[in-house]
Structure 1
Amino acid sequence: MSRNNEQGMALALVLMVIAIISLLSLSVIGMTVHNAKQFDTTESNIQTLDLAEMGFTYYETSFQDFYKRKMEEINVNIQNNMISDFESGELKDVTVYEEIVATKLLEAVNVFHEQLSFSTNNGNADSLLLAKPIGMDSSFQLAFPHIPSNIVCTTCNQVEDTPGEHIEVTLQSTGMTEGTKSRTVRASFSLNIGPITIETDGSGNPNEVGDYGIHIIKPTNLSTCSEDDVREFGRKSCSFEGPVEINNINRVNIEDASIVVSGSLTTNQPLNNGIENSTIFVTGDGSFNSPINGIDASNLYIGGTANFQNLNQGVNGSTLIIEENSYFNAPINGIDHSKFLIGGSATFENINQGINNSLLIIEENATFSANGGTISGMENTTIHVLGNANFNNRKFNKVRNARICVRGQVTELPKDADYVYSPSLGTDETTFNDVCALPESSSGTISEEDISFDWSFDTANVEYEYQIDE
């Protein structure tokens, strides 16, 4: 009895050990299978991720070669366009040409995608796809899910503080193995264009206006002015987009500033500190309805008509170019070592300190001493009037080594005004052409070597954005 019990307990123990070993074996086998699956998944993720990054590298390398060739072609094309426009007198601001370059490049990118055999995705013209097999069971797939937002010029048609243009290209690349396993990365790179620069000997600057040797260069590459800058007009260099009207400013101080106004400029309060060492470039009319306390060592360009109420400290060492009519309705306290080019007619009332060491060219008619005003002398100065001139029977006081040349009719000239030369007064053509020869223009030329702009293919900040595909 005792022996049989012992045999039964031994058998039960053996069976229990076998059961435990079997359970452990199954557990080990399960863990092994699980680990194998995990290893396979990890290996697959690594492979598909490598393939996705390989796709981006493939596109980047191909595009970089294309970009260099295309930009060299665009460079020649834009140089020829600018030279042609310059020779026809229609040269535009460089920002216009920078946008043309960006537009041409965007068009060229579409051609590049056709060359790489990109095709529309499911008939959607805004979505492009390219599949590239790598070996037997592997491939990468390049995609632009939405072209308008994937390839975009972020600076075109905008006023930017930084010159040139900037294009962002965002690409999606998916790596695939065994036809079903995949990983996707998304990344962007930048195309930087410009700014276009023109380097000349000073006689062919496209931003230079004027003629007869009288020129003002339009300031470029300025930051855009804000509304606050209107209230502090002249405190800094900037460009106003649209008309500017100056009212109720505590103190207007225009010194060492370059200001562009794309529109008209109206000042309704005195410029107590005048304009000093500055360039003011106004594309529209200029209405200075309150006194200006002098224009000193400065350039003032008005693209329309100009109306000056009073120039208290006169104009000294400065250049004024006014494209249309000009009205100096109150005293100018002297014009000294300055140049005026007026594209329309000009009216002067009083010039209290006279005109000295200066050149004035008026392309249409001139009226001197209007409303009973006087001009207190003229020395080492020439005034050219290409139209008619009316002197209102008022003589210039103390004229020395100076002349007024009038191509058209002279009226109301006082007696003994021998400083006025005009065919209408009997000056013969030879004498008039000799004494009254106009300064030569210096419009200059530009060539391919004068026009340049840089471009770069910037991948320095490329960062992959990883997506896990279901």
Structure 2
Amino acid sequence: MKTFKNENGYALLMVLMLILLFTVLGMGLMAMNMNSATQFNTKEEQVKSRHLAEMGVLHYKTEVESIVKNPSIKNSLSCSDFPEVLNEIIESNVSEYTVRLQTDSVCDATDKQMIIKIISEGKAVDESKAKEIEATILISNRSQNENDGETGDDSTALGNVPQKPPYPEEDWVRKSAVTDLDDINSANPSKVIYGITNQNPFIADGFVEVLGAVDVNKKSDWTFKNDLLVAGSFATSTAGKNVSTINIDEDFYIGGALHIKNHTIVNVGSDFIVMGDVDFGTKAIFNISGNALFDWKVSNVEPHADITIQNNAYFKNPLGTVKNNANFCVKGTAFLWKGNKWEPYLSTDDGYEGFNESCLGTSINNPGEKEWEVLPGLNAIYK
């Protein structure tokens, strides 16, 4: 048998196979590069849109601060001073970012505070890559906080220690307490057995006393236009982007513990009293326009939490752990219960290092004038 060893054309076949192999690999690499470039461009557009949205929030807050600092209108400042600024931002930055209100009204306002909720949208070449940020701007009247009604020899130095507001029995319709917050319209003022509601947003016009505990669900928006008294604990279940906002225009009293989870916003228009343990979650915002009494202990303040007390703060126990990047600001005087009486909180006392020292003693008490201030923190929510 003969064996044929003719290999003519074998080299050409190998070359063609190698060309085909490298062509396939090259096309694969090219497709991967094109896909990576597309993903990079998409990410770049999204990042740019987010930065533009942040610029819109900061721009509007800067404009609000300039209005608030205007000495010619500080005694007559109202929500009507802000829409024109908002319109100017919308008209002059259509190609980059737009700013609009979250609600139909410009802001919620009392003599003690104003709350403005905005949405800033950063625009991209591809509209599907646009990003939105929701933000809350808080404005407090620092002149509405100081001492009145305190008696005793030490009243000038001690200030006005907040007390639990009495239930207005003279206005109480003699009925059994209503079941939950949804039923409070049947009685004003109202005694409520369970602190729950199916309404969102929820608004209560009159005095409300909850006979049990209150647990605030995620993404809740509650407003109490008078005093709120809670016999038990008060807690929020907010986390991440599921922000809850609780506004109490007058006094806020809690008979039990206070547990504020991440990103929750609480605004108290007058005095605040809590009888149990307190902890504040990451990026929680808690603003008190009057005095504050912590009858047990502030155990923990997580990073980036912002606690602002416009007037005096009274601590039955030393301030607990205030973690890095958290702000615990007392703009009046801080007092600590020592020797069965209130004494100034001194730098040598336990827990003093948790205070923001630059805030202490900066409260303004001038009853003849209003002194509005834009509070720190925006509680930005990225969409």
The TM-score normalised by the length of structure 1 is 0.36
Larger Rg: 1
Higher relative contact order (CA 8 A, sep 6+): 2
- TM-score, scaled to structure 2: 0.44
